[in-house]
């Protein structure tokens, strides 16, 4: 069931971000209030764009198909963390810029004024917002260093974001030179309500909708070392429309509360009655899967994601590494059920033979489709029938044999370094960037591909436009 990914195009989102981020500056100018000198105006300008970007962060969480349906969760999250850095820098600088003129004349007086500003009653809400904005990235680092459970981190992230936004808007409305005017005040309030509504929708409305539309674990089986296949069926029996390769957010009993959902790619085809997942044991939730009883209650939010087959592609190159087989298997199963006639090449990579998933099923599909499959493991004994080593340029060239470039869509899923290095190799081999698709399972870092770097460059351009708007605001006569 290949279909097109629907949603707002990336360029529209980029323009909307810049316009909303700087709109507060326009409102400020429109008040007609005389500017208060370049440093004070720069400080105010930074505060205004920081606050708007804080509100926009709620929309770029990757949970709204209308916003991410075209760009995908990978780009949405990449943008979310990039914008978080820009917002952090602007928010941190905001109070200090007011003091620059004093600092240039008398540094110790500037110091006293900074202390008075931070301890003063009038700026209390501003201080709360400022500290919350600093605490958000501090907690991102703390999660890495102190192994804070993901759910606790998510909860604190959401709470701090709400505190930062509400306190920031209260600060702007009470103390801001421009925001307290009627129209800007209503706009700030509307933006705040809309931002908080995103959390209510995802963790409230969708949570209860999920509980009212229960699923059950139909069966589970071990399909590799530390790898499980799970099949879920919907109590209502209603179809669950999705495109092969998409993912869902899954909650299972007894952890059905909001914030306990985990993203997993769908390993089945929408033509199957059950929804299947392939899950690797990595942490506290996934290591418990072996103990899941049949009939376990579950809730789904989705489908999400753009890791799907392009209906216009002439051929497909599927590259799976480890648990990355999940969406690739979903796409392959969909091709098999649809009787796909276009050429398909797949390379399934795993640490060892005991981690290769669905080999027999894929080999059986190869007898019916124009499908050539290779199985590659890092290490294996003499019984292994397949390739040994890492997926490199030479093996990729052999796997590509006969596929048109451009014209072939490459879908890559696996560990981050696997995806980014293969994406670069494919670009070197003449694949247009638009034909190379991958979706990360983990946002905690890892190398970038040239596609990622080009994307960051576009983000920086957006930051530059926002920065120039603040500069123009500060220097206006
Ligand atoms: C779009 C997408 C699709 C995915 N598809 C699959 C799949 O098909 N098969 C598979 O095995 N894995 C998949 N994952 C990864 C899977 O979500 C994590 O491995 C799982 O949530 C780990 O949970 P844990 O509690 O066992 O491990 P933990 O030790 O708690 O977490 C390990 C890492 O997984 C990530 N993670 C943990 N919990 C969450 C959460 N609730 N939301 C987002 N990220 C989380 C974090 O980066 C964390 O550092 C996918 C991830 C994403 C983003």
DSSP 410-424: EEEESSHHHHHHHHH
- Closest protein CA for atom 35 of ligand 1: 442
Where does 147-181 have alpha helices with state H?
Answer: 150-175
With CA atoms as reference, report the closest residue to 301 among 193, 414, 204, 439: 204
Q: Is 436 helix (H, G, I), strand (E, B) or coil?
A: strand
What pLDDT score does 1 carry?
47
Whole-number Å distance between alpha carbons of 233 and 223 = 19
Q: Is 374 helix (H, G, I), strand (E, B) or coil?
A: strand
Rounded to the nearest 5 degrees, what angle is found at the Cα of 303, between the Cα atoms of 233 and 275? 25
> Are 289 and 209 within 8 A, CB to CB?
no
- Of the pLDDT bands very low, low, confident and very high (cuts 50, 70, 90), residue 360 is very high
Whole-number Å distance between alpha carbons of 168 and 67 = 25
Instruction: Report the chain's terminal Cα–Cα distance, integer Å.
Output: 59
Q: At what angle do helices 10-30 and 450-475 cross, to 10 degrees?
A: 10
Summarised one tens digit per residue, pLDDT across range 365-424 is: 999 999 999 999 999 988 999 999 999 999 999 998 889 999 999 999 999 999 999 999
> Are 367 and 392 within 8 A, CB to CB?
no
> Are 343 and 366 within 8 A, CB to CB?
no
Summarised one tens digit per residue, pLDDT across range 270-302 is: 999 899 999 999 999 999 999 999 999 999 999
More confident call, 452 vs 176: 452
- Closest protein CA for atom 3 of ligand 1: 264
CA 249 to ligand 1 centroid distance, Å: 10
Does 262 sit in the ligand 1 pocket, CB within 6 Å? yes
Does 416 sit in the ligand 1 pocket, CB within 6 Å? no
What pLDDT score does 52 carry?
96
Whole-number Å distance between alpha carbons of 380 and 261 = 36
- Of the pLDDT bands very low, low, confident and very high (cuts 50, 70, 90), residue 183 is confident
What pLDDT score does 184 carry?
79
Residue matched to tokens 């780009």: 75
Summarised one tens digit per residue, pLDDT across range 117-167 is: 999 999 999 999 999 999 999 998 898 888 888 899 999 999 999 999 999
> Are 298 and 215 within 8 A, CB to CB?
yes
Instruction: Examine domains 215-304 and 315-449 and report if their fold is the same.
Output: no
Does 214 sit in the ligand 1 pocket, CB within 6 Å? no
What pLDDT score does 76 carry?
93
Give the best-scoring range by mean pLDDT among 60-69, 75-84, 136-145.
Answer: 75-84
State the chain's mean pLDDT as an integer.
Answer: 93
CA separation, residue 202 to residues 13, 222, 226, 261, 307 (Å) = 20, 32, 31, 11, 22
With CA atoms as reference, report the closest residue to 160 among 44, 302, 54: 54
> Are 173 and 182 within 8 A, CB to CB?
no
Residue matched to tokens 């003449």: 430
Domain map (residue ranges) of the chain? 10-209+459-475, 215-304, 315-449
Does 108 sit in the ligand 1 pocket, CB within 6 Å? no
Whole-number Å distance between alpha carbons of 273 and 408 = 30
Write out the two tokens for 273. Answer: 């009655």
Q: In what order do the strands lie in the sheet with 315-321?
A: 387-388, 371-377, 344-350, 315-321, 408-413, 436-438
- pLDDT for residue 87 is more than 80: yes
What pLDDT score does 444 carry?
80
- Closest protein CA for atom 15 of ligand 1: 441
Whole-number Å distance between alpha carbons of 85 and 102 = 28
Ligand 1 atom with least separation from CA of 73: 1
Whole-number Å distance between alpha carbons of 249 and 142 = 25
Rounded to the nearest 5 degrees, what angle is found at the Cα of 303, between the Cα atoms of 219 and 9? 160
Residue matched to tokens 């890092």: 378
What pLDDT score does 185 carry?
86
Is domain 315-449 in CATH 3.40.50.80, yes or no?
yes
Whole-number Å distance between alpha carbons of 296 and 220 = 11
**Backbone φ and ψ of 319, nearest 5°:** -125, 115
Average pLDDT of span 192-214: 94
Q: Under 8 Å CB-to-CB from 272, ≥6 apart: which residues?
A: 333, 337
pTM as predicted: 0.93
Does 279 sit in the ligand 1 pocket, CB within 6 Å? yes
What pLDDT score does 3 carry?
55
- pLDDT for residue 4 is more than 70: no
Whole-number Å distance between alpha carbons of 93 and 110 = 15
What pLDDT score does 147 carry?
83
Helices (H) and strands (E) in the chain, counts: 15, 12
Among 57-61, 408-412, 464-468, the minimum mean pLDDT is found in 57-61
> Are 438 and 78 within 8 A, CB to CB?
no
State CA 456 to chain mean position distance. Answer: 14
What pLDDT score does 445 carry?
79
Mutate to test the pocket of ligand 1, among 158, 262, 292 (most ligand atoms within 8 A of CB): 262
What is the CATH topology of the domain spanning 215-304? Elongation Factor Tu (Ef-tu); domain 3 (2.40.30)
CA separation, residue 439 to residues 259, 304, 343, 387 (Å) = 21, 11, 22, 25
Whole-number Å distance between alpha carbons of 80 and 420 = 20
- Closest protein CA for atom 9 of ligand 1: 279
Whole-number Å distance between alpha carbons of 144 and 142 = 5
Strands (E), 327-432: 344-350, 371-377, 387-388, 408-413
- pLDDT for residue 190 is more than 70: yes
> Are 409 and 310 within 8 A, CB to CB?
yes
- pLDDT for residue 434 is more than 90: yes
């Amino acid at each position: 069931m290949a279909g097109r990914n629907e949603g707002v195009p990336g360029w529209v989102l980029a323009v909307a971000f810049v316009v909303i981020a700087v709109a507060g500056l326009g409102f400020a100018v429109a008040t007609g209030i005389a500017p208060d000198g370049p440093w004070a105006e720069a400080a105010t300008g930074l505060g205004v764009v920081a606050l708007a970007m804080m509100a926009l962060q709620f929309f770029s969480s990757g949970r709204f198909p209308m916003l991410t349906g075209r760009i995908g969760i990978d780009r949405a999250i990449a943008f979310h963390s990039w914008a978080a850095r820009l917002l952090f820098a602007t928010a941190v600088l905001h109070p200090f810029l007011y003091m620059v003129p004093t600092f240039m004349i008398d540094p110790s007086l500037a110091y006293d004024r900074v202390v008075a500003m931070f301890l003063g009653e009038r700026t209390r809400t501003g201080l709360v917002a400022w500290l919350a904005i600093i605490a958000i990235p501090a907690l991102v680092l703390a999660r890495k260093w102190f192994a804070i459970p993901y759910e606790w981190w998510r909860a604190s992230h959401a709470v701090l974001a709400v505190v930062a936004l509400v306190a920031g808007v209260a600060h702007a409305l009470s103390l801001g030179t421009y925001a307290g005017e009627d129209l800007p005040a209503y706009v700030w309030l509307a933006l705040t309500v809309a931002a908080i509504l995103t959390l209510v929708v995802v963790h409230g409305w969708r949570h209860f909708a999920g509980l009212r539309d229960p699923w059950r674990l139909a069966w589970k089986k071990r399909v590799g070392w530390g790898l499980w296949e799970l099949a879920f069926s919907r109590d209502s029996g209603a179809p669950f429309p999705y495109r092969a390769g998409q993912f869902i957010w899954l909650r299972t009993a007894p952890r059905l509360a909001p914030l306990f959902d985990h993203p997993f790619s769908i390993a089945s085809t929408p033509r199957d009655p059950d929804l299947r997942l392939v899950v690797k044991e990595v942490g506290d939730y996934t290591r418990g899967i072996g103990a899941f009883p049949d009939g376990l209650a579950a809730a789904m939010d989705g489908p999400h994601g753009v890791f799907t087959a392009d209906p216009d592609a002439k051929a497909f190159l599927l590259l799976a590494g480890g648990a990355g087989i999940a969406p690739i298997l979903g796409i392959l199963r969909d091709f098999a059920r649809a009787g796909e006639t276009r050429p398909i090449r797949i390379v399934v990579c795993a640490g060892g033979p005991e981690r290769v998933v669905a080999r027999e099923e894929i080999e059986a599909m190869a007898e019916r489709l124009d499908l050539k499959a290779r199985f590659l493991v890092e290490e294996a004994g003499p019984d292994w029938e397949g390739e040994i080593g890492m997926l490199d340029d030479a093996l990729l060239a052999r796997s590509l044999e006969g596929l048109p470039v451009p014209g072939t869509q490459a879908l890559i899923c696996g560990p981050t370094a696997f995806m980014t290095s293969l994406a670069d190799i494919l670009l070197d081999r003449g694949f247009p960037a638009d034909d190379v698709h991958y979706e990360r399972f983990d946002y905690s870092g890892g190398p970038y591909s040239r596609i990622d770097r080009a994307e960051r460059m576009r983000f920086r351009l957006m930051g530059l436009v926002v920065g120039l708007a603040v500069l123009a605001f500060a220097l206006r006569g």
